[in-house]
Amino acid sequence: MSGDLVQSAMPASAKWPAPAKLNLFLYVTGRRPDGYHHLQTLFQFLDFGDELTITADNSGTIKLLTAIDGVPQEENLAVRAAQLLRQQAQLHGTLPPQAGASIAIEKKLPMGGGLGGGSSDAATVLVALNHYWKTGFSFAELAALGLTLGADVPVFVQGFAAFAEGVGEELTPASPAEKWYLVVHPGVHISTPAIFNDPALRRDTPRRKISELLLADYHNDCEPVVRKRFREVEQLVSWLLEYAPSRLTGTGACVFAEFDTESTARKVFDLVPKKWQGFVARGVNISPLHRYLSSQ
């Protein structure tokens, strides 16, 4: 294979979006023998998230230029995604040995916040390097690779709002209303495994058709457990509910309130106590990652 393959994709450096997601609802319908849970959830993206500067090069290595506190480089999902794609492409003979990349992450999403930051970073790396390296994987193939990194990676790779089942990887396109959201983080880190292993978690919510779920009031089965275990989340949910329908996303710790207009969301944002951090963003059904890719 020609060693010019990576060079032919140049210029191969840009800042790519890694958007947040919300779980507009989340129901736990059972538990599998391997410990994973059967879910029914509705994913929607936000027009806000991390930003990754990704550069394809001929170094033959994957370099992370920005360390993240508490996350060793070998455990960083963005690095693992790049290494996985490189390995699989070379196994398929579509990438020369000297293909490499550097990644710089501008972290805007809180870790352990339920917004999918690490999974979104991984998906952005897969999509961007598939583009730069011209490895030719389809979105479905990239999503399958991403699933080995985390259950939320496929929805970020596929790039459309979706009703999800299984462990979150069985995706059906959906078109929820694109509301405005105030998202607030209470300053605590919540471990997803800890919540899913909590004996108090409800695991027997009846499975329903998506048409029925979309017409029902939205809830999150993880929220009662999280509010009981984390006083900060309980205080935040109680405060936000004074202003708009509010609930936990994923296993938390972020809580979101939904509004019909940006101005209304920002009025409440201005009232958020200083002890909490937050932002206002629009819910979008096409990922900003895919909008950016289509502009390339």
> So which residues are the catalytic ones?
21, 152
The answer to whether residues 46 and 181 touch, using CB atoms and an 8 Å cutoff, is: yes
Residue (of 102, 113, 108) closest to 78 by Cα position: 102
| b/e sequence 118-157, b meaning 16+ C-beta within 10 Å | bbbbbbbbbbbbbbbbbbebebebbbbbbbebbbbbbbbb
What span, in angstroms and rounded, lies between the C-alpha atoms of 100 and 50? 22
**Both structure tokens of 178:** 């694109």
- Using CB atoms within 10 Å of the CB of residue 240, give its burial: 0 to 12 exposed, 13 to 18 middle, 19+ buried: buried
Beta strands in the chain (DSSP E): 13-31, 37-57, 62-64, 100-106, 162-165, 170-173, 180-185, 246-248, 255-259, 277-284
